[in-house]
Amino acid sequence: MIYRMRLDSIPFIATQKALKRIEIRLNDEKRRKLKAGDLIEFENTNTYEKMIVRIKEIRLYESMTRLASCESFDKTGGIYMNREHWIKSINSYYNKADQEKYGLMSIEIELT
C-alpha cells in the first residue's frame, strides 16, 4: 500500500538526504492503517517534488513529551535546535486535545 503525505521543504530535504529517519504524525483514524512495510509518498509542499519511503516500524505514544523522551533525537534530521524545540514544534502542529484523543506515532522510515 502507498500512502500520501505532505512535508514542508526543510523536513522533506532532510528526509531525502536520509538525515531525518522518523516522521511524527497524529495517530488518527487515517494513519492507524499504516503498518511496517507500507510505502509513503511524501510531497514537498513548496516544490511539489515527490519521494517514496518505506515504513520500517511504528511506535505509539500518548504525547509528544513522552515520544521525545523515548525516541532518538538524532533521527530528527537536524531540523530542530534541541528536544524542547522539537516538542514545541510538534505541539504547534497537533494540539494537546488531539494528542490526548488520538496519541502520536513515530514512523521510522527508510528511502526506497
| Nearest C-alpha neighbor of 76 from the set 16, 22, 26 | 22
- Return the pLDDT at 95: 94
Q: Which residues contact 100 (CB under 8 A, 6 or more apart)?
A: 62, 63
Look up residue 18 and give its three cell numbers: 536520509
Residues 6+ apart with CB under 8 A from 112: 39, 52, 53, 54
* CATH number, residue 21: 2.30.130.30
Q: Which sign does the torsion angle of CA 34, 55, 94, 59 carry?
A: positive
pTM of the model: 0.96
What pLDDT was estimated at residue 7?
Answer: 98
End-to-end CA distance of the chain: 14
Domain encompassing residue 12: 2-111
Q: pLDDT tens digits, residue range 58-67?
A: 999 999 999 9
Total of domains in the chain: 1
77-95 pLDDT, tens digit each: 999 999 999 999 999 999 9
pLDDT tens by residue, 5-57 = 999 999 999 999 999 999 999 999 999 999 999 999 999 999 999 999 999 99
Return the pLDDT at 41. Answer: 98
Beta strands in 1-112 (DSSP E): 2-7, 22-26, 39-44, 50-61, 104-111
